[in-house]
Structure 1
């Protein structure tokens, strides 16, 4: 399989840097059919699979296919220097940890993440606190907090030795066409005058919530924008976080505090749009005063260690996860409320499940881009994702209100959760991903 360097594309490198949520989306332009515009000198490559989007989810899929025998090309629009510097951290579920362990990169990731020794759930000024421990689930940890840089670097490092993978970065998909037998993509790079033409049996859209591939294919979405926006920031606490993850609900929206490996914490604070914008624009000391109040002083005096980022919150489910020669994964397929930190973990499960289906189909001599194969992916992942989307929506609506009857009901629910071990165990299995069908790589 020729590497792109042999085609004189110097900026094609073995890295796939990007954040699902924030990197610029691939642009697909309406144009004449690719064949009509194809210059005879345009390089042409043939692959079994083209992954558009080289963030954490796209790279997870590429790594899961490393020893599959499938020829894979990964196309990423951003240069490594841009995406690797994103100062985000994510909740990594127990199942995601198992998937990464099965893919052989957990030993690269684990030394640089925080293992949750405890999760504390509390409701505004209510005195009761639900405390969850690893023994409630029967695992070594309840989850992890991992930075974007750590996850992406580990994936990129492992993929450098993948013999079946060609990586184009930075590169833009400028057109794509689908037929009964294959997909044809036109790809440009900063140093080429003519596009590279890629033919593949299947295209994977891992290009984020505003997926151009999804929109180009005419796949509709359902869902809604919440009345809330989310503020994220990194803080230095006066007191040690003791590897405790906090989910603290307030009447305006939930606050998540993730313990990071270097002693800092990442705050994910959801509020109505106007309040969130006002809070973002407050002087740092006033912002921290409000944060200290809303976290109950659990971490002592706080110091702001990053800029405050603001983004709107939405629930989105694609009405189809597949189309002709196309499959959606990660945020291209679905988005959920950030409460309980489920979003990226759903995408990691998508990638692991799709890889398992594609490898089995390839070994059985099936066409990996056929409708019959892609339906297996939809039937596995779409119902499970619906459960999590509904769960996070329920949590946000149940706890983001001061209506007295609802407040009474939810606090009674927290009491039952704290007192009945079975309820706690079931809730943890749902939150950690262990309640659904486990991919082979995580068993």
Structure 2
């Protein structure tokens, strides 16, 4: 097996250091097929997705180690917010952190969808779905802090942070990870039945395993920034399509908004480098003046946009979750939610298999995860790709079709209901933790 010289874990955040001993885990004295193993599974990548999986395994009796390369003080400082679907909220409620998170997130009272200079605006309300809200906007810091705090109470979970995985060797019965930590000159070796790759879109674990990906880089890049609007955002989330690409505006709990602005690469670089006053004028124009005069409250970050789907989510003793398995266009804010669902689904499968006396690292068990999540993820990847291509063009026949679609969406309640079911995650299989 080739040596993995360096794994750069690209997950969203790092947890705080915890020193739970795996031997103190509930059920650690039960009969184990491979008693030489130090852990039942290792999660490489201690970001929001990796931590969600770890927390979903609390009280499971499985011995879990979470390995994160970045120090907590670095990764927790990320200035970013995410759209959380209703299903993600239900999953976090089932994990026991939602009551702590909810006061610090914005609940969408309305979603507005508009198309460039077209006068029509589609307005979606919670009653269109028969719910009290349509989704949430939550900051990276709020989510990570709540996950970290809850993980500290889970006695079957060990967190190594900062820690760098420098090699992985797989066998028929498990895997051995070689890990470097700053406090030890010699690497640490741990043995586990299963390795989970939560190490981001450039997953070194996926590449080492030889798992190919399919997809493409878009002609667009995305600019994100936090703004202070002149007018109150009233908890309204905006998705405004322009011929160059979509603009999402997320209302934040403190009255600010996060902008996710997708345009062709060169234009994105120009917008990032514009003087602040000129950038804000462009943004005010493209948001149609919905929020009045704007102030910039953060740096402008730029990243290229791509669609990626791993050809398989599993290999021998390995499973991929989150961005390590798939990436989608940021339109409609689906990316983080797909990863949260991956984590909840995989946890459910692993716990059920362990209780049935099955080998949790076997392909037979892991294939159930593939069968559940891969088709659902394909639907969202295709949906976001369709939206971006349909609205990022000036071709008159397509413009006519999409504006007819918006007209029908606004006037046929059943269309709104179906669209909202898909966007909120409620159209797929619901993990047990969210029921």
Whether the aligned pair in 1 keeps the contact of 2:83 and 2:333 (CA below 8 Å) is: yes
SS in 1 for 2:38: strand
CA contact (8 A) 1:19 1:83 kept: no
Alignment partner of 1:366 is 2:358: yes
Which secondary structure does the structure 2 equivalent of 1:74 belong to?
A: strand
Whether 1:219 aligns to 2:211 is yes
**Pairwise CA distance, 1:19:** 4.5
**Rounded Cα–Cα distance in structure 2 between residues aligned with 1:56 and 1:18:** 11
**In the alignment, which residue of structure 1 is the partner of 2:129?**
137
1:428 corresponds to which of 398, 403, 420:
420
Quote the Cα distance in structure 2 between the aligned partners of 1:181 and 1:158. 31
1:287-436 alignment, distance < 5 Å: 287-436=279-428
> Is the 1:233–1:266 contact (alpha carbons within 8 Å) kept by the matching residues of 2?
yes
Q: State whether residues 41 and 193 of structure 2, in contact with CA within 8 Å, keep that contact through their aligned partners in structure 1.
A: yes
**Shift in CA distance, 249/342, structure 1 to aligned 2, threshold 3 Å:** same
Mapped pair 1:86 → 2:78: yes
Aligned position for 1:269:
261
Structure 1 CA distance for aligned equivalents of residues 244 and 369 of structure 2: 37
SS of equivalent to 1:408? helix
Query: Match of 1:417, SS?
Result: helix
Number of residue pairs the alignment of both structures matches? 407
SS at match of 2:292: coil
State whether residues 344 and 433 of structure 2, in contact with CA within 8 Å, keep that contact through their aligned partners in structure 1.
yes
Structure 2 Cα separation of the partners of residues 298 and 193 of structure 1 = 57
> How many Å separate the matches in 1 of 2:65 and 2:331?
34
Secondary structure at the counterpart of residue 235 of structure 1:
strand
* Counterpart residue number, 1:107: 99
Assess if the C-alpha contact under 8 Å between 2:12 and 2:75 holds in 1: no
- 5 Å matches for 1:49-88? 49-88=41-80
Q: For 1:310, what is the secondary structure of its paired residue?
A: strand
**Which of these residues, 201, 206, 224, is aligned with residue 193 of structure 2?**
201
CA pair 19-263 structure 1, distance change in 2 beyond 3 A = farther
Deviation of residue 309 (structure 1)?
A: 0.1
Over the residues paired in the alignment, what is the CA RMSD in angstroms?
A: 1.4
Give SS of 1:285's match: helix
Q: Which SS does the other structure have where 1:316 is aligned?
A: strand
1:271-286 matches, cutoff 5 A? 271-286=263-278
Q: Post-superposition shift, 1:18?
A: 7.2
Query: After the TM superposition, which parts of structure 1 deviate over 6 Å for at least 4 consecutive aligned residues?
Result: none
Query: Distance in 1 between the 2:37 and 2:297 partners?
Result: 46
In structure 2, what is the Cα distance between the partners aligned to 1:202 and 1:252? 44
The match for 1:246 among 238, 242, 247 is 238
Shift of residue 20, structure 1, vs aligned partner: 3.2
Determine the structure 1 residue equivalent to 2:179: 187
The answer on 1:98 being equivalent to 2:90 is: yes
How far 1:431 moved relative to its partner?
Answer: 0.3
Q: Which runs of 5+ in 1 are unaligned?
A: 1-16, 24-43
Task: Give CA deviations for 1:219-269 in whole Å, capped at 9, x if unaligned.
Answer: 000000000000000000000000000000000000000000000000000
Secondary structure at the counterpart of residue 181 of structure 1: coil
Contact 1:109 1:154 in 2 (8 A): yes
1:247-301 deviations in whole A, cap 9, x for unaligned? 0000000000000000000000000000000010000000000000000100000
Contact 1:18/1:54 (<8 A) preserved? no
TM-score by length of 2: 0.92
Distance across 2 between alignment mates of 1:295 and 1:80: 35
Deviation at 1:191, TM superposition (A): 1.4
Q: Is the 8 A contact 2:221 2:303 kept in 1?
A: yes
- State the distance in 1 between where 2:102 and 2:11 align: 20
8 Å CA contact 1:19–1:148 kept in 2: the answer is no
Deviations 1:400-435 (A, max 9, x none): 001000000000000000000000000000000000
Contact 1:315 1:335 in 2 (8 A): yes
Q: Which residue of 1 aligns with 2:33?
A: none
C-alpha separation between the residues in 2 aligned to 1:108 and 1:319? 37
Matching residue of 2:29? none
Please state whether the residue corresponding to 1:194 is helix, strand or coil. coil
Counterpart secondary structure, 1:313: strand
Local SS of the residue matching 1:167 = strand
Structure 2 SS opposite 1:268: strand
